[in-house]
């Protein structure tokens, strides 16, 4: 736990997934689940990447006291430009802005302001890393190295912590099995745990080896869960990171990309069915869908499956999570997403365009240019 006097936190390393998760958790602990907009400022790069203008906007915020007194939290979220830090201050470059930021942190920001920054690529030998280490906390999260002894123990610790954060208790044999499944890919930990929670019916149910073996295997299933979760977040950076991870695991890039196009289209088809069903049944929210499925008889479910509503056979918890995700898309956007993915698949089959290019272009249209 950080000292109360520390008001500068920098989380970095080479493991983006772990850095992001730890930063999210830290900010919640400081500012709460629903931060006061008058006491919380978020700075996050857009699709064009990091800019000096955004950083200088954050610098102005760090020099301004909280609007209504008390404490203000400033968060530089999931930043990707730390490696651009330069030697000279000023100018209209990211590197110059980072140097100015290092100088401000070294001089000290107001005790009524808490600064949290996270993202890969910090060089602790440069000014920003040194300043944060001197006056605050620099936390490094690096992906375990398979070539070094003890990487399995490190992964077990990550899995146990992630499970504890969700209120889930895992036996040692299940943790070791998950290490075999995910290797050193920490980005898969959350996905595998969510699969277990859905399969077992919540966090209070014990997870056995049989449960883990039933749902935590198979590349095809992994693609469906991971891609669906990323699309549901409606965060372009997360979606493209998933594409990079999943396509990179396959020998045939084109085949993997085509599979992801199909899986993404299936996600939106299922989402649209759920959206229509909830409207017809006058179910107003995701927990309401969960309650409906828990109370439905086998005969009612069979009748709905015959009408194409196959999601009624999902575990109610999984259906609820999916319903929460699709709230970020309107029915019109879902239909347009299916059309965009159809065209992307056709482009793969009828032109020389690489399947991954078609996939990423489609996802940018669906996720990158719509509502958040």
Give the pLDDT confidence of 164-205 residue by residue, as tens digits: 999 999 998 899 888 878 888 888 898 889 888 888 888 888
Q: Backbone phi, then psi, for 13, in 5-degree steps?
A: 130, -150
CA 262 from centroid of its chain's CA atoms:
21
Token match 């999902």: residue? 314
Q: Are 69 and 39 in contact (CB under 8 A)?
A: no
Average pLDDT of the chain is: 86
Q: Could you state, in order of their start, the residue ranges of all structural domains in the chain?
A: 8-141, 241-368
Q: Give this prediction's pTM.
A: 0.58
Which is it for strands 137-141 and 40-43: parallel, antiparallel or unpaired? Answer: unpaired
Q: Are 105 and 131 in contact (CB under 8 A)?
A: yes
Ramachandran bin of 105, using left for φ above 0, alpha for ψ from -120 to 50, beta for the remaining angles: alpha
Kindly state the percentage of the chain with pLDDT values over 70: 94
- At 251, the pLDDT band (50, 70, 90 cuts) reads low
Does the pLDDT at position 316 exceed 60? yes
Choose the CATH number for 241-368 among 1.20.120, 1.20.272, 2.30.29, 1.10.10: 1.20.272
Token match 């006097």: residue? 5
Does the pLDDT at position 217 exceed 70? no
At 218 the pLDDT is 46
Radius of gyration of the chain (CA): 23
Average pLDDT over residues 90-100: 88
More confident: 127 or 349:
127
pLDDT in tens, 133-160: 999 999 999 988 877 778 888 999 999 9
Q: CA-to-CA distance for 99 and 84, rounded, in angstroms?
A: 10
Does the pLDDT at position 54 exceed 90? yes
CA 227 from centroid of its chain's CA atoms:
11
- At 250, the pLDDT band (50, 70, 90 cuts) reads low
pLDDT in tens, 274-296: 999 999 999 999 999 999 998 98
At 371 the pLDDT is 44
Superfamily of the domain at 8-141 = P-loop containing nucleotide triphosphate hydrolases (3.40.50.300)
At 283 the pLDDT is 92
Least confident of 222-231, 319-328, 332-341: 222-231
Q: Are 274 and 289 in contact (CB under 8 A)?
A: yes
At 10 the pLDDT is 97
At 94 the pLDDT is 93
pLDDT in tens, 3-15: 457 999 999 999 9
Average pLDDT over residues 91-104: 91
Q: Retrieve residue 340's tokens.
A: 């965009």
At 3 the pLDDT is 46
At 223 the pLDDT is 56
Average pLDDT over residues 55-79: 92
Q: Do domains 8-141 and 241-368 have the same CATH topology?
A: no
At 224 the pLDDT is 60
pLDDT in tens, 24-47: 999 999 999 888 989 999 999 988
């Amino acid at each position: 736990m950080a000292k109360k006097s520390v008001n500068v936190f920098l989380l970095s390393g080479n493991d983006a997934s772990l850095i992001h998760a730890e930063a999210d958790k830290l900010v919640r602990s400081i500012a709460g689940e629903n931060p006061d907009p008058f006491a919380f400022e978020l700075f996050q790069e857009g699709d064009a990447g990091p800019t000096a203008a955004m950083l200088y906007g954050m610098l102005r915020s760090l020099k301004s006291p909280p609007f209504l007194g008390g404490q203000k939290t400033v968060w530089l979220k999931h930043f990707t430009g730390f490696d651009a830090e330069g030697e000279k201050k000023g100018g209209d470059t990211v590197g110059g802005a980072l140097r100015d930021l290092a100088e401000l942190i070294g001089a000290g920001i107001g005790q009524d302001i808490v600064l949290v920054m996270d993202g890969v690529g910090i060089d602790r030998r440069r000014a920003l890393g040194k300043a944060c280490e001197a006056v605050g906390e620099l936390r490094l999260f690096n992906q375990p190295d398979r070539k070094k002894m003890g990487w399995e123990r490190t992964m077990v610790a990550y899995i146990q912590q992630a499970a504890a954060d969700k209120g889930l208790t895992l036996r040692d044999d299940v943790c070791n099995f998950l290490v075999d499944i995910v290797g050193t890919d920490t980005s898969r930990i959350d996905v595998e745990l969510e699969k277990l929670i859905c399969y077992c019916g919540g966090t209070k149910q014990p997870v056995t080896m049989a449960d883990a073996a039933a749902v935590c295997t198979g590349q095809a299933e992994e693609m469906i869960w991971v891609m669906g979760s990323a699309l549901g977040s409606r965060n372009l950076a997360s979606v493209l990171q998933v594409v990079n991870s999943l396509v990179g695991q396959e020998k045939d890039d084109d085949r993997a990309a085509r599979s992801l196009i199909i899986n993404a289209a299936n996600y939106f088809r299922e989402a649209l069915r759920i959206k229509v069903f909830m409207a017809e049944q006058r179910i107003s929210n995701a927990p309401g869908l969960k309650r409906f499925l828990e109370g439905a008889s086998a005969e009612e479910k069979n009748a709905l499956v015959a009408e194409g509503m196959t999601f009624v056979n999902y575990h109610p918890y999984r259906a609820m999570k999916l319903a929460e995700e699709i709230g970020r898309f309107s029915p019109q956007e879902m239909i347009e997403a299916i059309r965009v993915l159809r065209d992307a698949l056709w482009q793969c089959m009828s032109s020389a365009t690489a399947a991954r290019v078609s996939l990423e272009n489609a996802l940018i249209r669906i996720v990158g240019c719509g509502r958040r």
